[in-house]
Amino acid sequence: MKAKRIMQPGMLFLVAAFLTTAASAQTSETKPIPVTAENFAQAETAWNMRNWDKLRTGPGIFHYRDVTPTGPEAPTVRMNWDTLYSNRVVTVSDDHEFSVTLPESDLYIAVQVIDENGFSPYYIYEKGVEHKLKVDTDHAWVLFRTELKDRHSKEALAATHAAQDQIIISGIMEDARYVMPNYDQDQLEKLRKAYKEEFLKAGIDLVYAKGPGEEEDQHLLDISHAAGFGGYPPEEGRSNIYSMSDNQPGDICQAVTFDDPKSKFFTSFTVYDADGYLIDANSHIKSDKWTPNDDGTITIHFNCADDAINGLSSNGETFNYTVRYYGVSREVMDGTIRPLNPEPVQ
């Protein structure tokens, strides 16, 4: 059964843009808008847009220059150390069109566009070409991911910065700032928390949609927005699928073994705390760094001895983890490879 579309483009809760030099984005001061299952996608999208836009202190694209912070200092749950983010919440002109260009680089670089309804119509990694895009809403979140080869290396960080600086976005209202509709924040937080808990208990994959009519279940979309905002529906060799485990005990040694997922670009494991934030520990590994077993399979260890092969840690905390497949393979898409159930190591 197809879920009904929650909001048509250009209808409810349009966000007004205005010129400002303030460092933080504003929330409209109208009577609070109740947040329910009917408008959660729009409210959660607005909340994320507001958080990202307030990072921008002037015109242009905001580039995250530092390694993504741990804990709730991060603007969005389930961020990662695979890439550095660049972002712009854009206000489009009357034709709703704008352009982006990704630079030529040896690094993985991709751009994703999310409209005010939480739909993601574009995920692009082709470099050196101007991509002309069109969205249905007055604002859109344009998110760039630029690969960081090694978060501990100054040289790797500099290479990522150089690639970020060459990203181009044009055809937008350059000085406009995003104003978040006055959604009831308590209701939004309560519903977000409930969806996160439901997601962890259900053990399902995050799901996303490119646009209205493509979503199979609006409830699952809402759960995904709460548990891991900013995804894109699976497309072999192009998009990156996020698969997440349920909560795991942090006081025992566990491991999971799986076949090589053969992602077009790379695969990563990232450990998060129970709320979905990065942990200050050895909690991340990419496929270019892991050591395969003799038979070609991969084993990832969690909270084991320091010399454990491909070992990750949650500092003894309850945790969950996300596996990201950049340029996902068919074997991952059809569920043949699904390393989400670690077992205790004796």
pLDDT tens, per residue, the chain with 346 residues: 333 222 222 222 222 222 222 333 455 567 999 999 999 999 999 999 999 898 888 888 999 899 889 999 887 788 899 999 899 999 998 999 999 999 999 999 999 999 999 999 999 999 999 999 999 999 999 999 999 999 989 999 999 999 999 999 999 998 888 999 999 999 999 999 999 999 888 877 778 999 987 766 889 999 999 988 888 888 999 988 888 899 999 999 999 999 999 999 999 999 999 999 999 999 999 999 999 999 999 999 999 999 999 999 999 999 999 999 999 999 999 999 999 999 999 8
18-183: which CATH architecture? Sandwich (2.60)
What pLDDT is attached to residue 101? Answer: 98
φ, ψ at 102 (rounded to 5°)? -100, 140
Pairing outcome for strands 298-302 and 311-312 = parallel
Amino acid code (one letter) for 121? P
What pLDDT is attached to residue 1? Answer: 34
* 56: nearest Cα among 17, 102, 29, 28: 17
What pLDDT is attached to residue 28? Answer: 56
Alpha-carbon gap, residue 81 to 3, rounded angstroms: 34
Q: What does the block give as tokens for 335?
A: 């569920």
The domain 234-344: what is its CATH number? Answer: 2.60.120.600
Q: Write down the domain spans for the chain.
A: 18-183, 234-344
Kindly state the greatest CA–CA separation across the chain: 63
Contact between residue 162 and residue 65 where contact means Cβ atoms under 8 Å apart: no
Within 10 angstroms of residue 98's Cβ, the number of other Cβ atoms is 23
**Beta bridge mates, 254:** 302, 344
H-helix or E-strand containing 122? Answer: strand 122-124
Task: Please state the pTM of the whole predicted model.
Answer: 0.80
Q: What does the block give as tokens for 261?
A: 């997922």
Q: Give the C-alpha distances (Å, rounded to integers) separating 184 from 10, 13, 54, 103.
A: 21, 13, 19, 40
Amino acid code (one letter) for 105? S
* 303: nearest Cα among 256, 243, 242: 256
What pLDDT is attached to residue 215? Answer: 67
